[in-house]
Amino acid sequence: MSTIFSKIIAREIPARIVYEDDLCLAFHDVNPQAPTHILIIPKKEIPRVAATTAEDKALLGHLIHTAQTLAKNQGLHDSGFRLVINNGPDGGESVPHLHVHLLGGRALQWPPG
Amino acid sequence: MSTIFSKIIAREIPARIVYEDDLCLAFHDVNPQAPTHILIIPKKEIPRVAATTAEDKALLGHLIHTAQTLAKNQGLHDSGFRLVINNGPDGGESVPHLHVHLLGGRALQWPPG
């Protein structure tokens, strides 16, 4: 399994990268649904959250904590933001490489899709 | 800070609880936005994801992994599901006690609110 996200990690495809560390990469979504719409992905090729094991808990925590840190860096801590993980057909999963959506800069509606 | 969720944890307010362990509790949302709509909350009183520190990463990972395990138990692994965390006004945060929404049983739309 190798997706467009693996190519972004390998710098084979360009992306507007905003953050990188040993475990994850973050970049702007090419089809933004809000003024700020960033994807946070693990460098490890995990297709979706349903494919994670107990061993991936630390990585999952790192992704979520990184997402909220990026929200702070984007000036969204006071105005607010939403984190979204899609899994499978009903979830609207687009790319089979686990990713966390960070959306902010407008009032997100309810229900969340 | 003590919210309605603390009272649910303490069994002072009833809820349709589906899972509990040392770190978290999960129960059905009283205003479901999908056929399956469960909230996964830490027992630790953390107001929102923006208030987490690096020390909370393991707990965050546990919440997300528990959410996907519950999705499996609810029969949503094949059909799909969405995980959502709201933070602050624009995120639509309702109760100031960190919670992960698990939604499934229908096709979730895009954008996610």
Q: Do B33 and A81 touch (CB under 8 A)?
A: no
Query: Which residues of chain B does A76 touch, with a Cβ-Cβ cutoff of 8 Å?
Result: 88, 90
Q: pLDDT tens string for chain A (113 positions)? A: 689 999 999 999 999 999 999 999 999 999 999 999 999 999 999 999 999 999 999 999 999 999 999 999 999 999 999 999 999 999 999 999 999 999 999 999 999 99
Q: Which of B58, B62, B82 sits opposite A91 (nearest CB)?
A: B82
Instruction: Please give the domain boundaries of chain A with CATH numbers for all domains.
Output: 4-104 (3.30.428.10)
CB A87 within 8 A of CB B108: no
Taking CA atoms, what residue in B is nearest to A86? B82
Q: Do A76 and B54 touch (CB under 8 A)?
A: no
CB A43 within 8 A of CB A24: yes
Mutate to test the interface with A, among B64, B69, B79, B106 (most CBs of A within 10 A): B64
State how far the Cα of A18 lies from the Cα of A40, in Å rounded to an integer: 10
Q: A102: closest CA among B58, B77, B88, B38?
A: B88
Q: What is the ipTM of this complex?
A: 0.98
Catalytic site residue B99?
yes
State how far the Cα of A20 lies from the Cα of B5, in Å rounded to an integer: 35
